[in-house]
Structure 1
Amino acid sequence: MAKRRAVGNPLALAVLSGLLLEPMHPYEMGRRLKETGKDRNIKYNRGSLYMVVEQLRKAGFIAEQETVRDTARPERTVYALTDTGRAELYDWMRELVAVPEHEYPKFGVALSLLGVLEPGEAVELLGQRLVALEHEAAGITADIAGAKAQGVLWVFLIEEDYRLALLDAERRFVTTLIAAIGAPEYVRAWQDAMGEGTPWSADER
């Protein structure tokens, strides 16, 4: 079972990881998240980043190191990782890598209720999803190739490889599902279960 964290936002983990390299102010943290592509997996904005930084400070995981004064910019507080924060980072990372955790994707919800859709419509919608998945996979493949061409080390691209593997698995699953839902025996079973006069039937939509 996953441990309850003092600051459980995934953005907090990214901040702790960034500060492992060197002390930074929040603006620099955000810039590096974008530069390294981590913003593709961790949603945030300026407000949420500053909020997480303050939560980490209160939890004792990071501490103010200095305030940088610049005539061209407002004051910026530089934060450093504490020993407690370093321990939290490694403990959290070890848990995430080693311990599977059940997640609740929206597509899983849709699949659990797929039987309410008329088979023909379900096949059509799944076909649209398949096209979208193929388009997304192509974009990721191109991004990975571009990054590798620029000399980016493979370990900094593994989250993209993971996303691509998930997309490939989902594409295979959806392709098989389309064939199963479109099969005459499923259509007959659905009609028997839902009734010919169901408001979900193709003739009455």
Structure 2
Amino acid sequence: MTQDSRPRSPLAMVLLALLAEEPMHAYRMQRLIKTRRKDDVVNVARSNSVYQSIERLLRDGLIAVHEKQAADAGPARIVYALTPDGSAALRRWMDAALATPAREFPEFRAVLAVVAITGPDLVRDRLAERVTALEVALAEAEREAATAQEWGLPRVLLLEHEHLLVTLRAELGWVRGIVADLRSGALTWDTEEMLASRPPE
């Protein structure tokens, strides 16, 4: 077993957390991720992503086969359980993720780092489109938050959604400001000049 302080993927941490509740098979884990809306924070768009993560966790000794359940049709379902090593890894990963900001490489920050190679008018128009998309995403997130309040869900089950709301509002405010500066001319640049004055190698 590796001693890494962070999981190989957020999905691995979520799967271990589900198995900390009780042993279960892969299909149930995948269904719980979707019904609990955890697919907002882990990528399960590919149908085999859960199964691939389970195989890695099994290989690393973090989970083990608990039992095989006969199915009405098709092969038996394999029920997995958390191992002591898996429980320790989950706690270690959670401690690290809660305490230390990860060095992440989001696509949006990457394009901002090279945006000077294109013209400010194009950047303004594309960011204006991003404003619209962020407004839609924020409105949907606020509706979901209101629904959760109506259901009386405990706040601890909604912390990732609170974080989503905060980050959406912050990004929306920042992008709106950049678009306004591009429209007013407070932010502008000459692409050829930027390319000519690039830092030395």
Q: TM-score range by the shorter chain?
A: 0.7 to 0.9
* Aligned-residue offset at 1:152: 1.9
How far does the alpha carbon of each residue in 1:146-179 deviate from its partner, in whole angstroms, 9 at most, with x for none? Answer: 1221222221111111111111111111122122
Deviations 1:3-30 (A, max 9, x none): 7469612211111000101000111111
1:22 equivalent in alignment to 2:22: yes
Q: Any runs of at least 4 consecutive aligned residues in structure 1 with deviations exceeding 4 A, and if so which?
A: none
Q: Aligned partner of 1:79: which letter?
A: Y
**Does structure 2 retain, via aligned residues, the 8 Å contact 1:119–1:182?**
no
Shift in Å, 1:46? 3.3
- Flag the 1:184–1:151 CA change in 2: closer, same or farther, 3 A: closer
Q: How high is the sequence identity, in percent, across the aligned residues?
A: 32
Aligned-partner Cα distance in 1 for 2:91–2:81: 16
Shift of 1:191: 7.2
Equivalences, count: 192
TM-score, scaled to structure 1 = 0.85
In the alignment, is the contact (CA less than 8 A) between 2:6 and 2:93 conserved in 1? Answer: no
SS at match of 1:46: coil
Instruction: Give the drift of 1:117.
Output: 2.7
User: Cα distance 1:69–1:123, how it changes in 2: closer, same or farther (>3 A)?
Assistant: same
Say if 1:109 and 1:82 are closer, same or farther in 2 by CA, change over 3 A: same
Unaligned runs of 5+ in 2: 196-201
Q: 1:95 to 1:191 in 2, by over 3 A?
A: closer
Work out whether residues 117 and 191 of structure 2, in 8 Å CA contact, stay in contact via their aligned partners in 1.
Answer: no
Structure 2 CA distance for aligned equivalents of residues 70 and 107 of structure 1: 45
The residue that corresponds to 2:68 in the other structure is 67
Q: What amino acid is the match of 1:54?
A: E
